[in-house]
Structure 1
């Protein structure tokens, strides 16, 4: 491979934000089927998302409903700190309009730009600013489209859509304001946004007269102070970080009237069930809450009396390991039955009322829409599927009559639906990018264009299973490799942990692995136990042995693949980020007999320094309750290395200095311990970088520096 070819992919990969720019996303379908609203940037290298509309009432055509550059008069976007934090929690790297919310008719959209509030009339195609007190966070129209609620400086505020937000006697005003410096209304607390998949903190009533509002008090949460040493003139930023075994934020919920009347607190046993995981409020029933115990082994589905704030238990779930939170549930069906996803009979099933509607042939991953006659779900093949295709995710319609697959071709599919219109997004293994088709009554009526760039390379990937447990794997060889060329040095490239499936039947997720393969490696990606998409038993096998079992499965997958692929087991390295970084560090230190080098990106090296909801779930308790589990699953325990004395293996440690999710203390502790033990390692601190690496030069050069290190460590020319 020439130097030019070697550099072209990293540069394109960085400039396109992993080929996500220009891809349509965040779809909403109007209930009358007349339009689809979505976000998309104008090209594969521009980050500024526009709010777009696909009209289908008559001639099918696309148009821009809101251009952030025009609305800001060409000025650069300036994000308030609260918005930066929100984007970090959602791993949002784009700019412009990155989120929006609509009224019930999908005629009005609200969004924030530079802390200012904008609305777009979606039929007319006009957008304008509402004059309100900011900076504006998470604006959401009322279902009737007459008001917009939002958060500013920790207070929930509301403004009328008509009148500019500052006239007619009902001006932009506070509905719930903080009583102290550690209190906010209408925002999700750290663990809800980071770990529970709940990024919002207020919900409109279906009749637009009231809101449910979360009150968060993080006064008891310990403060950590993050600074960037490259900028000693800047004050450190204080972060309320609930590390394992320490206090969480206190979360309460209130009913607040739009007329400014008295607040009514929603009452449940917050001592036993402190985690507010989900809130659902629709015209099909009373407000519905899902609350969890701190150990996440018990959860309650609660219906709220909107007059008194009292709650009644609708259903109880229990599990000896933990209860997985699933997107889209709980919800009410139109006939008032509870829709939920549960782990029953060894399978993750969809249940409506008291009846499971799916079994062991499907592993339910998300509920996409609850209709009058069916439920639309995302699912992969379950343990009882007769011939599961590795890495495929499909969309299904489910009701009492059975299960019907909506997506047809092999790949990874997702969908959004309202009424007769479905937006189906498909990523295939045999072609780049994502195709977005609009279906009406199952028949295609439109394709939403993608402006994403075409990658300069295509993966040569084999999806297979390895080892006694049939671990899903992707194997990538250099595109120029020919049979008879001999064994290749091996690079394991896993995530390997909860919520991170890497072995998927799609093109783009394997591009980076293929680029590493083209540098002269056989690249192996393995999704061992603990990774999602197979069965509850597969995911929960790691309870109390999160890292130790994950490492065992990486080795088992490698050894099984060596019987069928040209792998040089004397030259094996591993790279990873976040959980994958932790796994890479564990591999080099615990199994030096297998691994000769490791690239360790943003790792959790001491489980006591990661957050409550995630860590306590997988460790099986707090550090004081199960210290031996924390020790066994930590790379560093106190200031020593875990495990017996073993050969030193070179390691490259990479970490963003302002990462507020996995703080840089993890890497500094590991480096200190490695230095004390006389072990060779390199440290690459990333100035101004968080847990993401969206900066173009950083993303590009990280790939080049990693491959240079790996070649040096393994003696690859």
Structure 2
């Protein structure tokens, strides 16, 4: 199945064309250096830490893992593997780094060991410390490096020596300085400690997962191996207990106090020279949150701002933060729009849908935003970079597509993707004028995506339509493949070429492929996203059907042969489609589907569906394994292939096993493809390649195309 180079093999080998592409940018405050990660080729998994000298134009490596390890294979601890799974990190080498305030010193973990790189000279050295090391971070003054090892938060001099623990775990269930499962998986808080601006103390999270229930994930292909113990906080069950302390380098400790009964989730921590530390804490139902200012002398907190929402409150990258003049920066849902708020004033309106804050500086805030609910002639799938202040809003990204940026002082690194060109272009701007490009070594795909972005139905559902390469008008209707994610935080309809490569490959196998981002996906307005409150099954499936029927009016879609595929939430949606709407959908491939929401984690599931003990009818209505889930007549059974990695610790294999049991009990034929040793990411090259080929074979057989 893997003869000459094909798109499935290239797609797998290049990790979706991410290898060789520059990422994780940092800019020195003096505007002289840009730091980033990039592997040396489009098939090399090992990232190198690079420096671009903007004064000379010279690009040089500051840390090459092949050189540092002497060609030896990288060794990862179980904790590091878990961290990479949470962040969906599939590459190797230097996968992350942190810098001091001047961007002179970088620290990173490699093969469980602690390394620092002098960025001006391009030299790296190891600091001998206890390991395995996780998440090393230099102090702002560059004199120390803090890191986590063995559940303890430790600090070492940047020159080496004087290594010591600032906080050590009391028992095997406690860690200092690490994000607990739901923080890393769902809140996108991947860290657990924060340096003071004066480099003399750290705020450190203490997580105790003793209350969390234990699950056991075994590898049936290796019955002699002991199952892995996983602390998994499923919906309605206890979470880890999280607290915060201020740890001084002089050995002092001050516990930070807030009402953790009311607001148990520590969602964000910000500490800069422009104000006191700020915590963003949430209630368990995520309908209440508070921004808290911390008194570092006493550990007491005071409420800076509080929010309430009848459905839920979203979390955003880049906030909270302080402006240099001491005003709080946040993103809020106000007046039906998602807006940037500085102090007590909203600086954007309903023309924009704010996605994140990229930088806060003297005189302005840099944001990423999409078209809002009152945008004039909104551009489907686009996202732009804007400069915002009291005088107005200025768009900085000049071309159509999706853009993001990193900025420090006068220098901005702008990453831009377009619908017509493969890959992402990275430009360095000074005072808005291009001064350099950061080259990408990513491979050029062997096919070109030809997605047409449009909006469908009365609701204007964002859609991408892809037809086979060379298809001509009048060739007749084509079998349809719906290819959604379809759920929260999963935008698929994007004005970016590479986002649609897999869909184009499926189209080239003889399908008309439709990608529809219905309500619940991150588009346009808070109301669009929050329409799925307590109703995953109804809203997201209804919008797939609406988009399909509307597009059939002016596209060559054969509504008598409609299939659907998806992974994770998309897998749930695919199985849901053939089980509840067999009149519309005739076959499905469901990859790693959530089938029983009581088995998924607290922070995600309870945000949308509430507590299962309080709303059992909501969980039953949205489940695939209840009578409601199998509501269509048994005689309308449609072909269904379910695929699941047996090592998945996010959507555990029990989801697929429970669905298969329910289908068997109901007399509904189906296929199950178990993947031994595969997690939620499926990073293995052969597995990723052959999964695409097996799906095409199944779908063609199911729709009578062979």
Q: Which aligned pairs between 1:143-542 and structure 2 lie closer than 5 A?
A: 143-162=140-159, 164-165=160-161, 171-261=162-252, 263-542=253-532
| Alpha-carbon distance between aligned partners in 1 of 2:631 and 2:412, rounded to the nearest angstrom | 52
CA distance in structure 1 between the aligned counterparts of 2:601 and 2:451, rounded to whole angstroms: 36
Q: Is the 8 A contact 2:634 2:667 kept in 1?
A: no
Q: Does the 8 A contact of 2:2 with 2:9 survive in 1? A: no
> Which residue does the alignment assign to 1:695?
684
**Alignment deviations for residues 149-191 of structure 1 (CA, whole Å, 9 cap, x no partner):** 00001000110011x33xxxxx211100001111000000000
Task: State the 1:640 CA deviation.
Answer: 7.7
The yes-or-no answer on 1:712 pairing with 2:696 is no
3-state SS in 1 of match to 2:70 = coil
Aligned equivalent of 1:80: 77
Secondary structure of 2:549's partner?
Answer: helix
Corresponding residue for residue 97 of structure 1: 94
Q: Is this contact kept in 2: 1:365–1:533, CA < 8 A?
A: no
CA distance in 1 between partners of 2:54 and 2:462 (Å):
41
Residues 634 and 642 in structure 1, CA contact (< 8 A), matched pair in contact too: no
What SS does the corresponding residue of 1:589 show, helix, strand or coil? Answer: helix
Give the drift of 1:642.
Answer: 4.8
Aligned to 2:51: 53
Q: 1:18 to 1:640 in 2, by over 3 A?
A: closer
Aligned partner of 2:139 in structure 1 is: 142
SS at match of 1:641: coil
Correspondence for 1:651 = 640
Contact 1:494 1:525 in 2 (8 A): yes
**Cα offset, 1:638, TM superposition:** 8.4
The 3-state SS of whatever aligns with 2:6 is helix
CA contact (8 A) 1:580 1:603 kept: yes
Q: Distance in 2 between matches of 1:3 and 1:601?
A: 21
What is the alpha-carbon distance in structure 1 between the residues aligned to residue 41 and residue 210 of structure 2? 44
- Residues 640, 321 of structure 1: alpha-carbon distance in 2 compared, 3 angstrom cutoff: closer
> How many residues align structurally?
706
| 1:645 CA drift (Å) | 4.3
**Per-residue deviation, residues 88-136 of structure 1 (Å, max 9, x unmatched):** 0000000000000000000000000110000000011110000001110
The SS at the match of 2:574 is helix
In the alignment, structure 1 residue 35 sits paired with structure 2 residue 26: no
SS in 2 for 1:180: coil
| Per-residue deviation, residues 611-670 of structure 1 (Å, max 9, x unmatched) | 000000111x10011111111111113898355545111111100001000000000111
Matching residue within 60, 64, 71 for 1:63 = 60
| Corresponding residue for residue 630 of structure 1 | 619
Note closer, same or farther for the CA distance 1:192–1:643 as it changes in structure 2 (3 Å cut): farther
In the TM superposition, residue 413 of structure 1 has moved relative to its aligned partner by 0.4
Distance in 2, Cα, partners of 1:641 & 1:153: 47
SS in 1 for 2:636: coil
Listed one character per residue, the Cα deviations across residues 362-398 of structure 1 (whole Å, up to 9, x for unaligned) are 0000000001010000000001111101000000000
3-state SS of 1:44 partner: coil
**Which deviations, in whole Å up to 9, do the C-alpha atoms of 1:534-566 show, x marking residues without a partner?**
100000011010232100000000000000100
Determine if contact 1:632/1:642 at 8 Å carries over to the other structure: no
8 Å CA contact 2:145–2:155 kept in 1: the answer is yes
Secondary structure of the structure 2 residue equivalent to 1:474: strand
Q: Is the 8 A contact 2:582 2:632 kept in 1?
A: no
CA distance in 2, matches of 1:78, 1:310: 42
Distance 2:86 2:485 in 1: 19
**Quick one: structure 1 residues 450 and 689, their matched pair in 2 at CA, closer, same or farther if it must change by over 3 Å?**
same
Q: What SS does the corresponding residue of 1:637 show, helix, strand or coil?
A: coil
Counterpart CA distance in 1 for 2:48 and 2:477 is 49
CA distance in 1, matches of 2:287, 2:313: 6
Q: Does the Cα contact within 8 Å between 2:452 and 2:466 map onto a contact in 1?
A: yes
Work out whether residues 338 and 525 of structure 2, in 8 Å CA contact, stay in contact via their aligned partners in 1: yes
CA contact (8 A) 1:222 1:242 kept: yes
Give how far 1:513 is off: 0.3
Runs of 4+ in 1 over 4 A off after TM superposition: 2-5, 642-646
Partner of 1:125: 122
Residue number among 529, 542, 546 corresponding to 1:552 in the alignment = 542
Check the 8 A contact 1:27/1:37 in 2, yes or no.
yes
Q: Which residue of structure 2 aligns with residue 578 of structure 1?
A: 568
- Unmatched segments (≥5 aa) in structure 1: 166-170
Native 8 Å contact 2:35 2:52 kept in 1: yes
Give the 3 Å change call, closer, same or farther, for CA 640–417 of structure 1 in structure 2.
closer
TM-score relative to the length of structure 2: 0.99
Distance 1:454 1:395 in 2: 26
After superposition, the C-alpha distances for 1:222-243 in whole angstroms (9 at most, x for unaligned) are 0000011111121111111000
1:461 to partner: Cα distance: 1.3
Q: Aligned pair in 2 of structure 1 residues 428, 628: CA closer, same or farther (>3 Å)?
A: same
Asked whether the 8 Å contact 1:29–1:36 carries over to 2, the reply is yes
CA drift at 1:527: 0.1
CA deviation profile, 1:580-615 (whole Å, cap 9, x unmatched):
000000001000000110000000000100000000
- SS of equivalent to 2:604: helix
Report Cα offsets for 1:467-493 as digits up to 9, x if no partner: 110000000000121111110000000
> 2: CA distance between counterparts of 1:231 and 1:547?
36
Offset at residue 690 of structure 1 (A): 0.4
SS in 1 for 2:529: helix
**Inter-partner Cα distance in structure 1 for 2:21 and 2:578:** 38
Greater mean alpha carbon deviation, residues 474-483 or residues 265-274: 474-483
Task: Provide the alpha-carbon RMSD of the alignment.
Answer: 1.2
Q: State TM-score, norm by structure 1.
A: 0.97
Are the equivalent residues in 2 in contact too, given 1:328–1:368 (CA < 8 A)? Answer: yes
Q: What residue number does 1:23 align with?
A: 21
Q: Secondary structure at the match of 2:274?
A: coil
Q: Distance in 1 between matches of 2:191 and 2:381?
A: 31
User: 1:675, 1:64 → 2: CA distance?
Assistant: 57
- Residue 672 (structure 1) shift: 1.1
CA contact (8 A) 2:50 2:61 kept: yes
Note the C-alpha offset of 1:137.
Answer: 0.3
In structure 2, the partner of 1:663 is: 652
CA contact (8 A) 2:581 2:632 kept: no
Aligned-partner Cα distance in 2 for 1:445–1:562 = 47
Aligned to 1:605: 595
